[in-house]
Amino acid sequence: MLPSEIDNLIREAKSALKKAIAPYSGFTVGAALIANNGKIYHGCNIENPSLMLSFCAERAALINAIVEGERYFKAIAIVSGNGEYCFPCGACRQMLAEFAPDMEIYLVSDKGIKKFSVDELLPHRFKKI
């Protein structure tokens, strides 16, 4: 990804953050996922009073893209409302690994940007072979 593409993806993740629905945890998360064709898909966390039904921003972005027919992805940017780095939860890592194993992952905080590969965040992942 070019620096300008990364900047744009982060802007989109901040825009997705505004759509988060997190009245129970107070912890808002936004994600922007860019497909290989350059299209960007938003995700945000969506909470429910039945707390187990709450949905993470990363998986929301993936599902948003997949239902639109996308299958190949370049990168995802993830931002949280508290200004700290938001590392994807285990379930999101497994799903990102399944659909985008070569993707770049950008975590954004008030202090800067960290870049990870899927393998770094989820080594030795479960695969059905």
Residues annotated as catalytic are 58
Rounded to a whole number of angstroms, the minimum distance from the CB of residue 80 to ligand THU is 8
Q: How many residues bind ligand THU (CB under 6 A)?
A: 14
Q: Give the DSSP letter of residue 54.
A: -
121 makes contact with ligand THU (CB under 6 A): no
Segment interacting with ligand THU, rule: CB under 6 A, options 24-32, 68-76, 97-105, 111-119: 24-32
Cβ proximity to ligand THU, 6 vs 56, nearer residue: 56
Q: Which of residues 43-72 bind ligand THU (CB under 6 A)?
A: 45, 47, 54, 56-58
Q: Give 16-23's long-range contacts (Cβ < 8 A, gap of 24+).
A: 16/42, 16/43, 16/44, 16/57, 16/61, 16/79, 17/44, 17/79, 17/80, 17/81, 19/44, 20/44, 20/45, 20/46, 20/57, 20/81, 21/45, 21/46, 21/47, 22/47, 22/81, 23/47
Q: Which stretch binds ligand THU (CB under 6 A): 23-31, 32-40, 110-118, 119-127?
A: 23-31
Alpha-carbon distance of 64 to 74, in angstroms, equals 15
C-alpha 43/C-alpha 30 separation (Å) is 6
Tell me which of 32, 33, 61, 92 binds ligand THU, using CB under 6 A. Answer: 92
Give the binding site for ligand THU (CB under 6 A): 22, 25, 27, 29, 45, 47, 54, 56-58, 86, 88-89, 92
